[in-house]
């Protein structure tokens, strides 16, 4: 088993550094290296970069996240080897620790989306007050740099600077929409852009109706999430509990020998697969549909 794990680790390192080691090889090797680099670029700059941005950590680089995941994996694997000494459990501990930063980022992103969802009615109230006070639409949006909730002020401050530099409300609003990256923000900005282009006297009524709709949706969603939380927590506890019992069993010498055998390794891997599938099904069933960005 030790030889097999060492061979797998060496093969993984070889594949990781292959695009740099054989960059100038034959045509087929170059094509393979380019494909690996392209796939790595898509994964890093796509999903992980978007996850970091949505979690409120745009300054963190994807390489730093990968380094943290690698360090956590090595630390968890080393601790597992010292405590239990079962190769299958050590590998699972390292894999789970490597996934921990991504799971934390997803939880942080969910929390930010939930908190931001409750801020948009206040933003709409400030906009309505500014418009009714006679301010122009650009000035009303720029005033949110000081009156909006603290989480949203940097985006509106950037809009204020951009509009002062360009004088174009359409382009500044498009950049603001891209920076906020929120379905409710898209609806608000598109409403303001249309009012700016075609005019009309019903802007405050439309914004007031939109604020009422957003408040109702946020309240309903919060109630549903509160009722689902205890079911989700019970399901997570049901997934974790068998592994806690297994960790206690393998701390005994006879348990460690049993789960180090081929049959024990197969049992551990099968249990990990079943736990993963059950957890993913639970998350998929309990997931509430998110509003799509139709005006992105």
The rounded distance, in Å, linking the Cα atoms of 197 and 219 is: 33
Instruction: Please count the other Cβ atoms lying within 10 Å of the Cβ belonging to residue 271.
Output: 15
What is the three-class DSSP state of 137? Answer: helix
Which DSSP symbol is given to 136?
A: -
The C-alpha angle 44, 48, 51, rounded to 5 degrees, equals 155
Cα–Cα nearest to 187, from 131, 127, 146:
127
Identify the DSSP state of 61: -
CB 132 within 8 A of CB 74: no
Q: Between vectors from CA 235 to CA 229 and to CA 238, what angle results, nearest 5°?
A: 145
What sign for the dihedral angle of Cα 239, 240, 243, 248? negative
| In contact, 275 and 239? CB cutoff 8 Å | yes
pLDDT at position 190 over 80: yes
pLDDT computed for residue 39 by the predictor: 40
Rounded CA separation 275/282 (Å): 10
Global pTM reads: 0.64
The ranges assigned to domains in the chain are 1-115, 120-219
The tens digit of pLDDT for each residue in 92-129 reads 888 889 989 988 998 888 888 778 888 888 899 999 99
pLDDT at 16: 64
Question: Residue 209, Cα to own-chain centre: how many angstroms?
Answer: 31
5 contacts: CB under 8 Å, gap ≥ 6 = 87, 91
* Poorest-pLDDT segment among 132-141, 210-219, 222-231, 254-263: 222-231
User: Rounded to an integer, what is the distance from CA 72 to the centroid of its chain?
Assistant: 19
| 153-173 confidence digits (pLDDT tens) | 988 999 999 999 988 888 898
**What are the angstrom distances between the C-alpha of 2 and each of 81, 88, 96, 248, 290?**
12, 11, 20, 23, 46
Taking only the tens place, the pLDDT of each residue in 15-69 is: 665 555 554 443 443 333 333 333 443 444 467 887 887 777 878 888 888 888 8
pLDDT at residue 41, as a whole number: 39
Rounded to the nearest 10°, the torsion over CA 213, 215, 221, 222 is: -170
């Amino acid at each position: 088993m030790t030889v097999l794990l060492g061979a797998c680790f060496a093969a993984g390192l070889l594949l990781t550094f292959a695009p740099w080691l054989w960059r100038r090889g034959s045509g087929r090797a170059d094509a393979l290296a380019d494909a690996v680099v392209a796939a790595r670029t898509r994964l890093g700059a796509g999903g992980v970069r978007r996850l970091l941005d949505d979690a409120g950590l745009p300054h963190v680089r994807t390489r730093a996240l990968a380094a943290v995941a690698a360090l956590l994996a090595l630390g968890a694997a080393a601790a597992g080897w010292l405590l239990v000494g079962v190769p299958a459990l050590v590998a699972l501990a390292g894999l789970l620790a490597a996934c921990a930063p991504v799971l934390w980022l997803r939880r942080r992103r969910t929390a930010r989306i939930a908190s931001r969802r409750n801020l948009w009615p206040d933003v709409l109230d400030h906009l309505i007050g500014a418009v009714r006070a006679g301010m122009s639409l650009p000035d009303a949006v720029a005033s949110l740099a000081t009156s909006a909730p603290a989480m949203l002020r940097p985006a509106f401050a950037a809009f204020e600077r951009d509009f002062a530099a360009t004088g174009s409300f359409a382009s500044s609003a498009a950049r603001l929409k891209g920076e906020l990256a929120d379905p409710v923000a898209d609806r608000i900005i598109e409403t303001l852009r249309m009012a700016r282009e075609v005019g009309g006297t019903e802007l405050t009524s439309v914004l007031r109706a939109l604020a009422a709709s957003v408040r109702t949706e946020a309240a309903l969603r919060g109630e549903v999430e509160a009722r689902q939380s205890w079911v989700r927590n019970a399901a997570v506890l049901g997934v974790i509990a068998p592994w806690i019992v297994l960790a206690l069993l393998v701390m005994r010498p006879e348990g460690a020998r049993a789960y180090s055998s081929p049959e024990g390794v197969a049992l551990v891997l099968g249990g990990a697969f079943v736990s993963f599938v059950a957890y993913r099904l639970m998350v998929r069933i309990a997931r509430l549909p998110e509003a799509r960005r139709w005006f992105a």
